[in-house]
Homo-oligomer: A and B are copies of this chain.
Amino acid sequence: MVPIVDTARFLQDLHELRQIGKFKTGVHRPTFSPQDMESRRWLMQRMAEIGLEPSIDGIGNVFGRHKGDGPHLLSGSHIESQNEAGWLDGALGVIGALALARSGLPVDVCAFADEEGHFQIGFPGSRSIVGDLTEEEMDGSRDRTSGTPLREAIANAGLAGIPRMRLDPGRYKGFFEMHIEQGTQLENAGLRLGVVTGIVAIWQWRIVIEGQQDHAGGTTMAERRDAGLTAVRLLAEIDRHFPMLSGERTVWTTGRIALDPGAPSIIPGKADIFFQFRDIDMVVLKRLETGLRALIQESNRRERCKATLHALRLDTPALCDPRMQDALKAAAEQHAPGLWQSMPSGAGHDAQIISQKLPVAMLFVPSIGGISHHWAEDTKEEDLALGAQVLADAAERFLVM
């Protein structure tokens, strides 16, 4: 049985939500702001209307529990926005989950609090629900913009003293999250849907090169130990060799090259580099690490300035469940034959946290011009509707697998 999604109602819900905290063509709903709390109350009303049992917990997670028998699915995303940002980032996944429930599927709907990171905790809502957020972390967290303590913001939002809910993994067969792509890969390829293979791991490194600070006038080229020059040569070698070591979707980025002291007439005594690569495949990540270490070793053999490598962050990729992906692919091919692709998510999402407890999958729809985190963010209505229908179809397929 293919569930029939009321796409008109789904789009109507999205547009209704867009009015709350409206900013130009986007929205401004920072976490625990009056507009954000209004959107959470609005969501609980929609849940109740379609027969879900709504609740909000002590970190602001809004939950709509299906009252019937299982096996159940969990679906959702987040409802707050970045400041003066787009109407679809997060909202799409929540309203998409609502559409699944309305179509009759046994789905619990969740809006995880503060995925956008207004407070100094990563993913507090989804981390709380999987049991990975301590009271101490909450005590120490503040709003990055206003400095308001998280506890105070929660109290002002009327949520003080409410317990935080915990996920019952035994209740669910898996978690589906629909989201806008926030990139241009689908648009550039002329595609309408992306079946997410996983959420990439970031391996973030700091490369420190120690040379000898000297006067740029009095020191011959032969005498120099120029840390900046060694940095340029090393980064040029990375540029040359990484394509041969990477996977199909690997990305690598040098975000910062700080030369010390950074003055026009002083030979840099030190270079401090932020370098990262991202992939969903642990084999690729390890191969890139091996390559990076070899290039640094070779640099240290050739150069007069010693380079050292420091690992700042070595995430584990969050892989999407293969059967859930199969369900999404089959549904995508049915509704948009030839117009979908598999692709990793380069950005983080609540699904990567939920993957600690449940099989997860994500469906992307195109972002017009790749714009996101800006009020101009948008997606064609036919792509939004297609996404909701494919999500529902995939959910049904997965439930009977």
CB of A346 within 8 Å of the partner chain: yes
* Interface size range on A against B: 35 or more
Q: Residue A185 contacts which of B220, B233, B239 (CB distance < 8 angstroms)?
A: B220
Distance A347 CA – B216 CA, assembled complex (angstroms) = 9
Cβ of B259 and Cβ of A264 under 8 Å apart? no
19 contacts between A and B (CB under 8 A): A184-B219, A188-B223, A202-B217, A217-B251, A217-B278, A217-B346, A221-B252, A229-B254, A231-B257, A236-B236, A253-B266, A255-B265, A255-B266, A256-B263, A257-B257, A257-B259, A258-B262, A264-B276, A265-B276
When all copies of this chain in the complex are counted, the total is: 2
Chain B residues, Cβ within 8 Å of A239: 229, 232-233
Q: Are B223 and A232 in contact (CB under 8 A)?
A: no
Q: Are A253 and B226 in contact (CB under 8 A)?
A: yes
Pick the contact of A217 from B219, B223, B267, B347 — CB < 8 Å? B347
Are A347 and B236 interface neighbours, CB within 8 A? no
A215 interface hit (Cβ, 8 Å): yes
| B216:A264 contact, CB within 8 angstroms | no
A268 part of interface (Cβ distance < 8 Å) = yes
A161 contacts the other chain (Cβ, under 8 Å)? no
Q: Measured between alpha carbons, how far is A228 from B233 in the docked complex, in Å?
A: 13
Digitize A230-273: 1 where CB-to-B-CB distance is under 8 Å, 0 elsewhere. 01110110010001001001111111111100111111100000
Nearest CB of chain B from residue A243's CB, rounded to whole Å: 8
Task: Indicate whether A219 sits within 8 Å of B251 (C-beta atoms), given known contacts A232-B232, A276-B264.
Answer: yes
Does A204 belong to the interface (CB within 8 Å)?
yes
Q: Is A122 in contact with chain B by the CB < 8 A criterion?
A: no
Among residues 181 to 197 in chain A, which have CB atoms less than 8 Å away from a CB atom of chain B? 181-185, 188
Q: Are B216 and A276 in contact (CB under 8 A)?
A: yes
Closest chain B residue to A238, Cβ basis: B232
Which of B255, B278, B312 contacts A228 (CB under 8 A)?
Answer: B255
The answer to whether A347 touches B218 (Cβ under 8 A) is yes
| Cβ–Cβ contact A253 & B216, under 8 A | yes
List the 6 closest pairs (A to B, CB-CB), nearest first. Answer: A217-B346, A183-B218, A236-B236, A216-B253, A218-B346, A256-B262
